[in-house]
């Protein structure tokens, strides 16, 4: 019973982080649309700071959620280019957050041991 509740809580963390990432991207597009240099690239991009905070709070679950959220919105930015939509989103989103999430997890394990 407790294991099922823990799995649901972790899945909730993933869904919450994906939702927050998508909403932050959408709000950033509304507010800072005029600062867009090229399609999908803004001079002001405040959701990155939010991603860092989420990763520090929810560790690997945030990394999973933010990666899934990036995949969910990538088809809106680059609908015609499969390479950018799949491979580059994985590299751009997951690469900075996975090491941080793994480091946080290792610190947690070393505290317990």
The more confidently predicted of residues 102 and 19 is 19
pLDDT class for 13, splitting at 50, 70, 90?
Answer: very high
In the chain, what are the domain boundaries? 2-112
Q: Please report the pLDDT score of residue 96 as a whole number.
A: 58
Residue with tokens 């609908």: 79
Asked if 35 and 43 touch (Cβ cutoff 8 Å), the reply is: yes
Q: For residues 80-91, b (16+ Cβ closer than 10 Å) or e, as one string?
A: eeeeebeeebee
Q: What is the pLDDT of residues 17-68, one digit of tens each?
A: 999 989 988 888 888 777 777 766 777 777 888 888 888 888 888 888 888 8
State the pairing for strand pair 41-42/36-38: antiparallel
Query: Whole-structure pTM over 0.75, yes or no?
Result: no
CA distance 74 to 81: 10
């Amino acid at each position: 019973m407790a294991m099922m509740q823990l799995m649901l809580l972790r899945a909730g963390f993933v869904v919450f982080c994906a939702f927050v990432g998508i909403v932050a991207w959408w709000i950033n597009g509304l507010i800072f649309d005029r600062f867009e240099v090229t399609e999908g690239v803004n001079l002001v991009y405040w959701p990155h700071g939010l991603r860092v905070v989420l990763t520090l709070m929810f560790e690997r679950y945030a990394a999973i959620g933010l990666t899934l959220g990036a995949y969910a919105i990538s088809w809106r930015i680059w609908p015609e280019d499969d390479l950018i939509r799949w491979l580059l989103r994985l590299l751009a989103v997951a690469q900075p957050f996975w090491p941080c999430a793994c480091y946080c997890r290792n610190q947690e394990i070393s505290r317990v041991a």
